[in-house]
Chain A
Amino acid sequence: MTLPLFHLILFRRSAARETIEKDIPRWIRFINPALSSLTTAQSLVWLLNTESLKEFRNLFYYRIGRPDNIFDRILLKAAQSSREPRRTLSIRVPFIGHGFVIKHGVNTIVHAERIGVNCLVFQGVTIGYKMPGGGLPTLGDHVHVSVGAKVLGPITVGDEAIIGANSVVVNDLPPHSMAMGVPVRTISRAGTNA
């Protein structure tokens, strides 16, 4: 695989550079901790070049956004055609905090009002509206959304909440809670070190 030159230039010129720099160590930690000694640029090249990590490309293009000058727009077009993103992953959020990790990203829809820092989302997750035209969820910091979970409607998920596999969350979740099942049962984790 060749060096992703377009991506590196975009990365250097982008306003979101610091955010991407904070994303990279978390991706490396979750995907391949053996590479933690690499520099930021080396990690970025590895993440972009790995064919099984196409979801990182989605996040990268999301962070770059729509550039305001024509030079960057052409660069982005060239970048996107040389490193194709995952086609079954849709991110549409006004703001995502740094350290956002998507694992596998197959059949994943992330449409929210706001997502805090260091969140983790797995495959099969839908974050979006409950009924057509309804409101979108707001996720706090350090939220884990596990495999196949659905977070729907204009709700607020508190900081450090864990949402279990295949659960359906349609009501607010307090901070430090754990939610599981359909309909969801909530267990408070307040006061624990977890």
Chain B
Amino acid sequence: MRAMRALPQIVLFKRSSRRAVIEADVKRWMEIRRPERANRSANENVTWLLETFPEFRNLLYFRLGEYDGIPGKLLLALARFFFPPMETPGFAFCDIGPGLFIEYGYGTIIGPRKMGENCRIAAGVTIGYKNDSDPSPVIGNNVFIGAGAQVLGPITIGDNVIIGANAVVLRDVPPNCTVAGVPARIIKRDGERVKRFSADSH
């Protein structure tokens, strides 16, 4: 009976062209939220995630995208009726790699031009443009964005970057760095602390 409620989602997800991406997302969410259940079937895990984490619904509907045909539209409407998404996290039309994990997602806007694999986003984050004419940021793989951080403008964030809580990132960040502050500056590079006013930190 419980699995029946998630039937529209499961049908849509099995027939979706992005099935592999959604499976990667589900695996990542299960590894973080309930590691002992990560090996169960994708159907079972999708149902559990839809019931437990409303923010997962937003991610799933974003991955499924829009449907042109009548059956797809109907199934999506049915899916949204049984598991209505939250108002946030909101997604702009963007290219996001598999394995995205969103923690709570309250007040979160995700609108990068491109985003790598296995990123992790906390609550209150905004990724988007600084003003209308600018493009949005490009974000690498394994990036962790802390609570309340803002990543704005036509910038590039490297792989394995950690962005601290409440940071406002307006410039490029090289790979393997930790940035924090308003405006954000590099506080750690390759695991070593960077002195406050050294020449190579921006």
Residues in chain A within 8 A of chain B (CB atoms): 87-88, 90, 106-109, 124, 126, 128, 130-132, 148, 150, 152, 166-168, 182-183
Contacts and interface: CB of A to CB of B under 8 A. Distances in A.
Nearest to B86: A87
B123 interface: yes
Interface of B: 32, 54, 86, 88, 104, 106-107, 120, 122-124, 144, 146-148, 162, 164-167, 180-182
B165 A152 contact: yes
Contacts, number: 61
B87 to A, nearest CB: 8
Given A107-B107, A166-B166, A126 B86 contact: no
A108 to B, nearest CB: 8
B124 A126 contact: yes
Contact of A132 (B54, B120, B181): B120
Contacts of A166: 148, 166
B103 to A, nearest CB: 9
A90 B104 contact: yes
Contact of A182 (B32, B54, B106, B180): B180
B107 A168 contact: no
A132 B107 contact: no
Chain A CB within 10 A, most for which of B54, B124, B164:
B124
A167 B104 CA distance: 21
